[in-house]
Chain A
């Protein structure tokens, strides 16, 4: 237990360091790109006057030294406060600002994306393992080859197209599931979608939007889209891993002791392969968030992925607090994913001690799906 705890402590220190580095980098890049924050404060002004630019900088605190702005932001982040967005700022008569706070929006969007990621990753794990094991068990059979080809083809299907096909078939035509929108897991949160009374979960109508059932209903199609996409990748990996593990000494020992083939695969091979796949999923979280951009868009959800694209593409100029919030949140999600995977490893696999502290990634692994 102490081993895991000290490992955890070191990882958290490293995570904080990476986070500060990321925020600093974002500040530096923002300062390097020419931008006009005043145009976000006075969006209706055709030409910004000298006074307006000066006033906007003063109101937003941009007239302070850069190091102070940076330190101020860090101290806010340390308290979990993401600040206020610049977009949509109103200047009152007394020259004070009315701004929308970022935190609540950001957390709601992150919960949505985390829902897609967790459910999707679970589906991938549950489906890729047996499929890969079967393909490896019957290596080079017709089924194995068909599966290999199918997975290659599936990699080329774009998540956007896949999501919209599922939405058309199961949402619009068969009407088995809601075709778009999202309902929160808990009742009391404001939902992002109007109550969908007309759609039922295989006929069970839902009166209100909010609660576990409507939540799951709206997420089934995104989960399936996510899973189908990554399934292609992970079935191949799982097949390769099973083939590799089958040659390990402990498998030979198990066979020698007279274990049946089912027991060898189910009890000795699959847990090993499962851990490996979990590691890969943990390391591919960045890519997975990228995929979420399309899945969220295909189902008209407004999650972290879509929020990030809208912020980064901002044509009116970059909204620095939102950019920082998005970068921080994505970094936290990525680090947390890596951390959870490493912890599972440290707990379940006694061979692994405290491994490397930095963000790791399998060398040469390409994010094929983007």
Chain B
């Protein structure tokens, strides 16, 4: 821990990461209460005649519906209407608050990232431990299967499974904590990234199973289960931690990819990926940039959020690796 704290870059990354995670998980409701509207509220006056949204720090009439006039312009807002502050501007044609949506999206994206890594670990660690510890045919089967699946483009497997499992898994959600669709994407990503922890754990098990302390355990009559869980598992934790941080970042990027294919979290739940698709479309309908309808902010804001999160995760992982294995700098 002290070694980690001495590494200034990693410490800064860890702080940034903490801020991003806390802000994403709790920022949405707080911002909604403070500003007086939520991420789903429509602001018809936040877009101009060609539906181009307003930029950051704009005050717009605080009304959620407006009459269209004959020349397709909007009727002037009622005098009594107050003004709502859109800190990062509006999110696109619908004129929703980009600032609040950024937090809501962050919640979904970060939950996919961390959830995917947890599920991958849940599947991969026991399998890898068994394959590495018992070896022989079990190891042979698991290893060959891993190599086969890892050779294929992962995004295709994700699409295949996500399209089939959608109807069953999407409705699974926890009110206010986990929006619908997040669990589905996390599970799909978790299944196909389970091969990474599997291989890591297997490789470590192969060296650990012949260690002297394992022989000692055997001699005093400990069962295989006890040896693996009580004595070998603690040795795996540092490796898994280093892997987990990188994996969470990779999962966030995978989610963006799935959103572009339209196989990700349903459009009703915003994610950082689906924020990008508002400007650029999906693979079925890619949209070159249209300056009269979109603003660069709609790309810059979610991209910046992704960059900060993923870069911090990578740096924290790197820092943890160095702190845990100081000799191999």
Contacts and interface: CB of A to CB of B under 8 A. Distances in A.
A66 to B, nearest CB: 20
Contacts of B276: 158, 160-161
B257 A294 contact: yes
Contacts of B156: 290, 293, 308-309, 312, 330
Given A306-B283, A359-B147, A290 B155 contact: yes
Contacts of B253: 155-156, 158, 368-370
A301 to B, nearest CB: 11
B310 A155 contact: yes
Interface of A: 18, 21-22, 25, 33, 152-153, 155-158, 160-161, 164-165, 167-168, 171-172, 179, 286-287, 289-290, 293-294, 297-298, 300, 305-306, 308-309, 312-315, 327, 330-331, 334-335, 358-361, 363-364, 366-370
A69 B153 CA distance: 26
Interface in B247-263: 247, 249-250, 253-254, 256-257, 260-261, 263
B152 A331 contact: yes
The 9 closest A-B pairs by CB, nearest first: A297-B283, A290-B153, A168-B289, A290-B155, A312-B160, A156-B307, A168-B288, A289-B153, A312-B159
B325 interface: no
A286 B147 contact: no
Contact of A171 (B263, B288, B306): B288
Nearest to A33: B164
Given A153-B307, A156-B306, A293 B286 contact: no
Contacts of B263: 313
Contacts of B283: 160, 293-294, 297, 306, 309
Contacts of A293: 153, 155-156, 261, 283
A157 B200 CA distance: 28
Nearest to A149: B311
25 contacts: A25-B148, A152-B314, A156-B307, A160-B260, A161-B299, A164-B280, A168-B289, A286-B152, A287-B153, A287-B154, A289-B153, A290-B154, A297-B260, A306-B283, A309-B156, A315-B163, A327-B152, A330-B153, A361-B150, A363-B200, A364-B200, A366-B250, A367-B154, A368-B253, A370-B250
B199 interface: yes
Interface of B: 144, 147-148, 150-156, 159-160, 163-164, 196, 199-200, 203, 243, 246-247, 249-250, 253-254, 256-257, 260-261, 263, 276, 280, 283-284, 286-289, 299, 303, 306-307, 310-311, 314
A294 B289 contact: no
Nearest to B299: A161
A69 B289 CA distance: 48
A179 B288 CA distance: 9
A209 to B, nearest CB: 20
Contacts of A314: 163
Given A290-B155, A359-B151, A368-B253, A312 B200 contact: no
Given A158-B253, A294-B260, A315-B163, A366 B246 contact: yes
A286 B159 contact: no
A129 B164 CA distance: 43
A157 B153 contact: no
Contacts of B150: 286, 359, 361
A52 B11 CA distance: 66
B141 to A, nearest CB: 12
B147 A361 contact: yes
B203 A363 contact: yes
A351 B311 CA distance: 37
B311 to A, nearest CB: 5
A334 B149 CA distance: 12
Given A309-B156, A361-B147, A370 B257 contact: yes
B288 A161 contact: no
Contact of B257 (A21, A33, A158, A172): A158
Contacts of A167: 288
B208 to A, nearest CB: 16
Contact of B287 (A25, A158, A164, A363): A164
Nearest to B283: A297
Nearest to A283: B151
B159 A165 contact: no
A281 to B, nearest CB: 14
Nearest to A297: B283
A367 B250 CA distance: 8
A179 B203 CA distance: 47
A356 B292 CA distance: 56
B245 to A, nearest CB: 11
Contacts of B257: 158, 290, 294, 370
Given A287-B154, A370-B253, A364 B307 contact: no
Contacts of B314: 152
A363 B247 CA distance: 14
A179 to B, nearest CB: 7
Given A156-B303, A287-B154, A313-B163, 10 more contacts: A156-B306, A160-B276, A161-B276, A164-B286, A300-B286, A308-B156, A312-B156, A314-B163, A366-B246, A367-B250
A21 B250 contact: no
B289 to A, nearest CB: 4
Among A33, A157, A313, the one with the most B-chain Cβ atoms within 10 Å of its Cβ is A313
A370 B196 CA distance: 15
Contacts of A368: 249-250, 253
A161 B280 contact: yes
A208 to B, nearest CB: 25
Nearest to A306: B283
A331 B147 CA distance: 12
B147 A158 contact: no
A286 B154 contact: yes
Nearest to B277: A160
A366 B247 contact: yes
A72 B159 CA distance: 28
A153 B150 CA distance: 25
Contacts of B163: 312-315
B280 A358 contact: no
B170 to A, nearest CB: 15
